[in-house]
Structure 1
Amino acid sequence: MRLKITDGTVNYILRKDTKSKDDLYALQLRYSLHGNTPVSYMIGKSILQENWDNDEKEAIYISKPIAKKLAPDVNFNLFLSAHGVAEINAMLSDIELKIKGIEDRFRMDGVDYSGSDVIYELKNMMSGKSRQKIDKGKKISVVDFIEGNENENKGKLTESTIKHYTTIRNMLSDYDTLKKKVHYTHDAGFDYFNGVALFMVSKGLVNATIKKRLAQLRVFLDRARKKGYRTDESFRDFSWSEKETDVVALTMGELKKIEAVELKTERLSKVRDVFVFMCYTGLRFSDVLNLKRHNIRGDFIRLTAQKTKDLNGIPLSNKAREIADKYIVSDNDLVFPIPSHQKFNEYIKEVAELAGLTETVEKVRFSGAKRIVKTFPRKDQVTAHTARRTFVTLSLELGMKAEEIMPITGHRSYKSFKRYVKITEKRAKEALLNAWDK
C-alpha cells in the first residue's frame, strides 16, 4: 500500500457504471482537500475488477489457474500481466507525486488553492500542457475581464459576437449591483454560477439562453486563467439542464405555399426568393448576405462561412440555380439584394401570412422548472434561420443521410445535428397517426 504523501486525500476507484462489453471498468481518481467534496479525474485506464484490490487501492496480478476459478467465462488475455500490473501501479504512484508537486508549487507561489485547482493542473500535466503560473497579486473582476477581452479582440469579432458579449457583460454587471459586490475571477466558482443562473431565471430567460450564456462565461474564465489570473475551478462542476425545444422548420407543403404565393411588391418577391434559396442550399443568412458571383462555380457554391470560418462546398439544385441566375445578371458583385436581418425577418413573416401560414401553433419553453407556453400564428415562427432548418429537415425526410448533409451545412458534430433527426421522427409519427387513427 502506498504511503500518503499529499496534503489532500487521493483515492482510486473502479467506476462500476463504465463497464465495457469485456467486463472492464474505468479507473477513476478522486481527490479531496480539507474534507471538501472530492474532485474526479478519469486516468485513462480500464481493468477487470478481479485485477483490483479495493482495500489496498492497487492493481494485483492473477495467475491463469486462479483466473479460471474467479471468472471462468472471461478471456484470460483480458487479465493484466505481471508487467501490466506493475505499469498501472507505477502510474498511480506517479500521479500522486505529480499532485504533491502541484500542491508544493501552489504553496511556493503563495496561492490559496482548491481541489479543483489541483486536478486542473494535473490534467494539464497528463496531457503535456505547460503550467500557467498564477500571480497571486493579479486580479480582475469578471465584468472588467470580459470588457478587456472584447476590446482586445474587437477587430477579430463579428458584430453579432460583440453584441452577445455586451449582453453577457451587462447582465453580470446587473448581478453585481443586485449583490452589492464586485465578483472577481478568483471567486467566480460554483456558487457564483448558481447565483447568476437563478438571476437569469428571475429575469424570465429560458433555459436554452441561460445554458448558452453560462457556456460563454466558462470560456471567459478559461481565458482569464490562461492569462495568469486566479480562477475558482469549482465553476466547472456547475451544470444547467436544458429541456431541448423543437426545431422550427417548414414542411414541404408550407415551403411550396411560400414558393407559389403571388406577391405584388418587388420588396417581398426578393425576400421570398432569398428565403427559398436558403431553403434549397442550407446557407446561413450571414453567408447569403455576403455571397458573391465568384462563389458560384458551376453547380457548386464555394465560400468560407462567416460563423465558423470553414470553407464549404454546397451543391446547387436546379431550383437554387434558377433563383441565383435570376440575380447574378446584375452588375453588383453581391448576388442578392438583401435588407437588414431585422427587416428580412419582418418581410418574410408578411410573405408567410400571404401564403396562408396562419394557423395557431403552441411553443413550450422552460425557465428553470417553470413551463412557459405561448401561442401565436405559424407565420410568426418564420425567420431567416427557419430556411436553414428547413433545408436540413426536408433533406432528411427526402432520404439523405446525416453524414451527407453535415458537410453541406458545416455541422461539426452529430450532437448539434441530431435535433433535426428528432423532428423528422416526430413528423413521421404524426403522419402515421393521421393516416391510421382517423
Structure 2
Amino acid sequence: MPATVKYFTKGNNPTSTIYIRFSHGRKFDFKKSTTLSIESKYWNNSKGIVRSVAEFGDKLNFENTLNGLRAYLINKFNTDYSNGTVIDAQWLSLAINKHFNQSDEHDFNFLTDYAQHFIDSLPYRVQRNGTTGLAMSTIRKYKSTLQKIHDFEKHTGKRLKTNNIDLKFHNDFIKFMSNNQQLNLNTIGKYIKCLKTILKNAKQFGLKVHPEVEFDGFRSTKEKTYFVTLNQDEIETIFNLDLSDSPYLENARNWLIIGVWTGARVSDLLNFTSDNINNGFIEYQAQKTKQKIMLPVHWQVQSIIEGNNGQFPRKISNQRYNDWIKEISKKAGIVQLCKGAIYLVDPDKKGKKIKTPQRKVLGNYPKWKLVSTHTARRSFATNHYGKLPTPIIMSVTGHTTEKMLLAYIGKTPQDNAILLKDFWAMENIKGKKEIQLEIVKTAN
C-alpha cells in the first residue's frame, strides 16, 4: 500500500487552517498543520479538496499548492525511508516547513527544542566554583535524556511543550522507559532528574512550565543498589595471581590493583600515564568534576609500574576491563554467593543477553559475576572507611560531601553507630591497661 496524503479542516469557523494526515499502512499515521488557511465556503472537508466555486478565483493555484505538497511528501518519504531516516511526526513537520521554505528556527516552547538549546549551552556554562563547562559524562546524560524524550514523542505521536510536562506525563514517561525500554528504576531516576533540571532552566528562561513539576510526586525513581567490594585478602590474592599465560588478563589485573589503591573513576583510571606520577605521588584532574586529586603511590602500584619499565599498564577499553576483571576474580577463587543484579545470558545464543522487564535480574550470584568497573573505586572507599579520617578518603575519591561518600559505599547510620561502639570499647580497654600499669608502678 503506497503512502497517502489527505487534507482536512477542524471546526466551523469562517476561515479554517488546513491540516494534513500522512499515512502508510498501520505503522505511520501522523497529523500536522500545513499553516495554510482557506475560507470554509471554498472547502469540501468530506473529500479534502477545494470546492468548485466560480467566485474563488485562486482555486487553481491553491490546488497546485496542495498537490505539490502531496507529491513532495510522498517522494521524500520514499527516499528517506529507504535511507533509514526515522519517520515520525517530527519528520512530517520538518518536511512541511522545508517544502514551504519556512524558517527552521527552534520554537523553545517545544520541550525537545529547548532541551537541545540547553545542551548546546552546557560547554559554556559557568559553574558556582567559577569553572566553565560541564564534564562530557554529564553532557552525555543530558543528551541521553533528550533522546528518551524523542523516543517517547515517537511512541505517542505527539510533540511535547514545556507546559505539557505534568504528573500524568511523569507517570507515563516512567512507564514507557520501564516497560518499553526495559530500564531499571535508578536509570530512569537519572533521566527524570535531568529533565527537571532542564525544566527549571526553561522556567528561568521565561518559558511556561507546568506547576506540577514542583509537586512532591514529580520526583526521581530509585531502588536499592547492590554492589560488591574486594577486601584486603581478596586484593592480595588477585595481586599475587599468576596470569603470565594470559597477558591480556595480567594487564587488566594490574589496572584493577591500581584502581583499588587509587579510588579513581574508570574514566580517569584507564587514562593514567607516567606523566601522572610526580615525586612518589599520583596527580590528576578528574574528568567528571575537574577536581585536582593527589595521593601517594601504594607499594603494590609501585611494584606494577616498576615491573612495566616505569609505565602504567597498556590502555584498554572500559568494556574489556569490565569483562576481564570478572574472569580474573573467578580465577582468584572469589566465588562466595552475594546478592546483586546481573544480566542473564542465554546459553543457546552464544552469550547473548536475555531481555527482561528489569534488564538486570536480582538474585544471589558468585561474587566474581558482580565485580564491575565500579568495584575498585568502591573497594578503596570501603576498605579505608573508619581507618582514615573521612575527609582524607573524600580528597582521594573526589566526593564533595560526606553524605555522598556514605551513600556511595552504602554506609548507614547503624554502621556509624557500630564504629562509635567499637571506638568506645577500644578506649575502655586502653583505659584499663593504663590503670593496671599505674598500680604495678606503685607496688614497686
TM-score normalized by structure 1? Answer: 0.58
Provide the C-alpha distance between the structure 2 equivalents of 1:319 and 1:364, rounded to a whole number of angstroms.
31
Q: Give the aligned CA root-mean-square deviation in angstroms.
A: 3.4
Match of 1:296 among 263, 273, 277: 277
Please name the residue that 1:221 is paired with: 199
Structure 2 residue matching 1:205: 3-state secondary structure: coil
Question: For the Cα contact (< 8 Å) 2:228–2:367, is it kept in 1?
Answer: no
1:406 CA displacement = 0.7
1:222-255 superposed Cα distances (whole Å, 9 cap, x missing partner): 2323433322242132124534323421222322
More off after superposition, 144-153 vs 250-259: 144-153
Matches within 5 A, 1:216-295: 216-237=194-215, 238-263=218-243, 264-295=245-276
Match of 1:209 among 165, 173, 187: 187
Please name the residue that 2:363 is paired with: 374
1:159 CA displacement = 5.5
Please name the residue that 2:167 is paired with: 190
Provide the C-alpha distance between the structure 2 equivalents of 1:165 and 1:200, rounded to a whole number of angstroms.
16
1:334-363 superposed Cα distances (whole Å, 9 cap, x missing partner): x33221111111221221121112344332
Please name the residue that 1:417 is paired with: 405
The amino acid of 1:197's aligned partner reads I
Please name the residue that 2:295 is paired with: 314
Does residue 383 of the first structure (1) align with residue 360 of the second (2)?
no
Question: For the Cα contact (< 8 Å) 1:338–1:344, is it kept in 2?
Answer: no
Matches within 5 A, 1:44-63: none
Structure 2 residue matching 1:303: 3-state secondary structure: strand
Question: For the Cα contact (< 8 Å) 1:207–1:368, is it kept in 2?
Answer: no
Please name the residue that 2:392 is paired with: 404
Provide the C-alpha distance between the structure 2 equivalents of 1:251 and 1:307, rounded to a whole number of angstroms.
26
Structure 2 residue matching 1:314: 3-state secondary structure: strand
Provide the C-alpha distance between the structure 1 equivalents of 2:221 and 2:112, rounded to a whole number of angstroms.
25
Question: For the Cα contact (< 8 Å) 2:190–2:220, is it kept in 1?
Answer: no
Question: For the Cα contact (< 8 Å) 1:353–1:379, is it kept in 2?
Answer: yes
1:89-142 superposed Cα distances (whole Å, 9 cap, x missing partner): xxxxxxxxxxxxxxxxxxxxxxxxxxxxxxxxxxxxxxxxxxxxxxxx963322
1:164 CA displacement = 3.1
Structure 2 residue matching 1:374: 3-state secondary structure: strand
Please name the residue that 1:349 is paired with: 326
Does residue 164 of the first structure (1) align with residue 141 of the second (2)?
yes
1:153 CA displacement = 4.5
Question: For the Cα contact (< 8 Å) 1:139–1:230, is it kept in 2?
Answer: no
The amino acid of 2:398's aligned partner reads G
1:393 CA displacement = 0.6
Provide the C-alpha distance between the structure 2 equivalents of 1:407 and 1:152, rounded to a whole number of angstroms.
30
1:232-285 superposed Cα distances (whole Å, 9 cap, x missing partner): 242132124534323421222322221122112221111101110110111111
Structure 1 residue matching 2:321: 3-state secondary structure: helix
Structure 1 residue matching 2:290: 3-state secondary structure: coil
Matches within 5 A, 1:146-161: 146-153=115-122, 160-161=137-138
Q: Where does structure 2 lack aligned partners over 5 or more consecutive residues? A: 1-105, 125-132, 343-355, 423-444
1:410 CA displacement = 0.6
Kindly tell me: are residues 328 and 208 of structure 1, through their superposed partners in 2, closer, same or farther at Cα, counting changes over 3 Å? farther
Structure 1 residue matching 2:333: 3-state secondary structure: coil
Kindly tell me: are residues 377 and 142 of structure 1, through their superposed partners in 2, closer, same or farther at Cα, counting changes over 3 Å? farther
Q: Percent identity?
A: 25
Larger Rg: 2
Provide the C-alpha distance between the structure 2 equivalents of 1:301 and 1:269, rounded to a whole number of angstroms.
22
Provide the C-alpha distance between the structure 2 equivalents of 1:210 and 1:200, rounded to a whole number of angstroms.
7
Provide the C-alpha distance between the structure 1 equivalents of 2:248 and 2:134, rounded to a whole number of angstroms.
31
Question: For the Cα contact (< 8 Å) 1:138–1:228, is it kept in 2?
Answer: no
Provide the C-alpha distance between the structure 1 equivalents of 2:399 and 2:328, rounded to a whole number of angstroms.
29
1:305 CA displacement = 0.5
The amino acid of 1:150's aligned partner reads I
Kindly tell me: are residues 350 and 138 of structure 1, through their superposed partners in 2, closer, same or farther at Cα, counting changes over 3 Å? closer
Structure 1 residue matching 2:239: 3-state secondary structure: helix
1:307 CA displacement = 0.8
Provide the C-alpha distance between the structure 2 equivalents of 1:336 and 1:390, rounded to a whole number of angstroms.
20
